[in-house]
Structure 1
Amino acid sequence: MNRTMPVLVVAAALALTGCATHSDPPASTNAPSTAFPVTVTPTGGKAVTIAARPAHIVSLSPASTEDLFAIGAGQQVAAVDKLSDYPASAPRGDIDAYKPNVEAIAAKKPDLVIVYSDTNNVVSGLEQLKVPVLLLKAADSLDDAYGQISLLGKATGHTAEADKLVAGMKSQIADVVARTPKKPLSYFHELSADGYTVTSKTFDGQVYGLFGLRNVADTAGGAGDYPQLSAEKVVAADPDLIFLADTTCCQQSAATVAARPGWSTLKAVRNGNVVALDDSVASRWGPRVVDLVKAVAVAVQKVS
């Protein structure tokens, strides 16, 4: 799966604050709900043994940072990368997840490091220093997202809290989807104003699929799961809904979309169905995916 371009496109979006509609993560608890040592195996990865309950976690993944605080492991987090901006209490520093430096990470004296990419061979570099590393790649589905939360619960001593969080997310999402009438609508999800988007095979695409929406990128002839569509292809597809995941990073809005040559004629523009999403919520696979589901539901219900 080609993830190079979307990673570059959403880099700025990851640096944004989270959606204000989501409740604050729970306070950390001191009583572990997992016995140590414990061995966990990330999807598609190798088993990692954690000898004792980690107390100095370094997270180089904004989504995992949100997971950790949501399951009550916030007090165990010693440092996060500079793009991990949610929750506000996360100990954000100058670590660059896109150009990770083993020495800089090791200086934080971590007993567990979480990354979503093995850039600069950071995994092997930390393993040589005997630091446990969890490589949690970008989720491809809701089940992947749930699985990462559960794994982090086990790895940090918060199994019960993680299970409760996952159950709550599943319940909320199922309730929202059940209460939203299915409509034969098409949509375009914009990652950037130069046409990068997602297909139905991606994490975001599967969220839209919960509502039975049809993704115009699936048949527009682009390459990969994060294709770049020309403006002409989007105009020709004439989607019922346009979702903007580049509002804060790139200042895109219903007004800027309408001002693009030929776009003012689109159904989504004419009918006021250009939806501004919170960039970070739309690009992360953590607990705030519930907010994304709710935003899509509101947009679908609005279309007559």
Structure 2
Amino acid sequence: MFVFMLTTALVGCNNQEGVKEDSNQDQIDDTEAEAKKAEASEEKENNSVTQYPLTVTDATGTDVTFDSEPTKLVSLIPSGTEILFAVGAGEEILAVDDSSDFPVETADLPKLGSTYSGINEEELIALQPDVVFINSGLQVEVAEELRAKGFKVFGSNPQSIKEVIEDVQGIGVILNNQEKAQTVVDEMKEDLDYVKSKVASVEPKKVYAEYSKGWSFGSGEFSNDLITLAGGENIFADIDGWFEVNPEEVIKRNPEVILFTSGEEGATEDSKEQILSRDGWNVIDAVKNERVIGIDSVKASRVGPRITESLIEVFEAIHPDSAE
């Protein structure tokens, strides 16, 4: 009996030691886990804070160096203005171009003219901005003139939704607004994923897009990327850039869907009824089935954060039966 009791006591002591050791190990593991969590959190925080000086290469191939966080901003392109507001830099914008009209806060900002009417350089000089945002595809000469006068210019010219997303992220880094920019990017990717999931189960349809009367576009344009992602096949994808359309060629290529832009000056002249009544177009499938749809001209033409909203609109126009 004594031996049994002694053995039981020893086993009990060993079990207690084992429990104690397990408890200590759990505490060590918890401590290490907390340390790793804190380290990861700190690393994430550091990654979301821009380190200056920062040098980036813009779409003109120019290296632009920011010695500190830019806080005095000017945008000379509507899409750039929309990006600045979207990433939380609206209060830091000093002035914009004449065509910047979104969001509504742009109405209260000074206007500096446009690429076509000319930029008010005197007012721009008086503002002394830290950086001027432009579109390098449309404003190459503007960029050169401003740089020659000592202005810091950042040019972008995205040709796909992927590049628009990269632009939003890049501008977020420049302005030290990375977290807000990532939120915008995440929302854009949600739109993109939604359309991709829908397109996966549909057959592509042949599309003719006329976003300016008598003109269309082919490869190398972000609007072509929009049609492809939305489950369409641009009938002029074999041609590069923008071009004046031969109406007979549209008849020959026989699109199933015709897209035109609405909400812009002249859109009523080039309305659905006008397209449906064009000579010889009554043999086109899109016309016979009245699959002629107007889409928002502003969203469709601006390579900014609302471009994925336009993607959804284009998808719903091409595949109305598959949209939610």
Cα distance in structure 2, aligned partners of 1:97 and 1:280: 18
Partner of 1:258: 276
8 Å Cα contact 2:94/2:110 also seen in 1: no
Q: Relative to structure 2, which stretch is displaced further, 32-41 or 250-259?
A: 32-41
Partner of 2:210: 190
Confirm or deny that 1:122 pairs with 2:174. no
Cα distance in structure 2, aligned partners of 1:112 and 1:230: 43
8 Å Cα contact 1:84/1:92 also seen in 2: no
Deviations 1:138-180 (A, max 9, x none): x111221112111111111211211221122112211222024
Higher strand share: 2
Partner of 1:209: 228
> Alignment length, in residue pairs?
268
Aligned with 2:190: secondary structure? Answer: helix
Q: Which structure exhibits the higher relative contact order, with contacts defined as CA atoms closer than 8 Å and separated by 6 or more residues? A: 1
8 Å Cα contact 1:183/1:300 also seen in 2: no
8 Å Cα contact 1:38/1:51 also seen in 2: yes
Higher helix share: 2
Cα distance in structure 2, aligned partners of 1:232 and 1:265: 11
Query: Structure 1: where are the runs of 5+ without partners?
Result: 1-31
Query: Structure 2: where are the runs of 5+ without partners?
Result: 1-47
Cα distance in structure 2, aligned partners of 1:211 and 1:120: 31
Q: Which has the larger Rg?
A: 2
CA positional deviation for 1:40: 2.0
Partner of 2:160: 141
8 Å Cα contact 1:249/1:279 also seen in 2: no
CA positional deviation for 1:119: 4.3
Q: How does 1:1-304 map to 2 (within 5 A)?
A: 33-43=49-59, 45-90=61-106, 91=109, 93-98=111-116, 99-117=118-136, 119=139, 121-137=141-157, 139-180=158-199, 181-194=201-214, 196-219=215-238, 224-245=240-261, 247-251=263-267, 252-302=270-320
Change (3 A) 1:109 1:142: same
Change (3 A) 1:125 1:227: closer
Q: CA RMSD, aligned part only?
A: 2.3
CA positional deviation for 1:272: 2.5
Aligned with 1:276: secondary structure? Answer: strand
